[in-house]
Amino acid sequence: MSEIHDLWKEHCSAPFPSDAYQSDTDLVSLNSAASGVISSYLEGSFALDPDSVVVLERCAEQLYPEIDGFEPQEREYFSRLLRMIRTVHAALSHR
């Protein structure tokens, strides 16, 4: 679980990329939704309700196709978010 904590700490201290506001995808809402679920996961008992798992899956589905088209700062920020989503999802799958 150390990896997700480290990624989360880094993510929370990173500024939201200004270029993300011009994306066709609502990256602000996507970031907010995924971050809320990840925060709940970390603050809880490393468990999520089924609806929260669906939120993570939808965020990953929306985010993944966009990553390659991002500028470097956006790519770093959202790649980290995607990595956290996948790490949480994988941890839940192994329960």
Cα gap 65→22, rounded to integer Å: 16
Collapse the DSSP code of 70 into the 3-class scheme (helix H, G, I; strand E, B; otherwise coil) and give the result.
Answer: coil
What pTM does this model have? 0.93
Share of the chain above pLDDT 90, in %: 80
Q: How many CA atoms lie within 13 A of 23 on its CB side?
A: 24
Cα gap 53→59, rounded to integer Å: 10
Structure tokens of 36? Answer: 């809320």
- Per-residue pLDDT tens over the stretch 67-86: 999 999 999 999 999 999 99
Are 42 and 8 a contacting pair, CB within 8 Å? Answer: yes
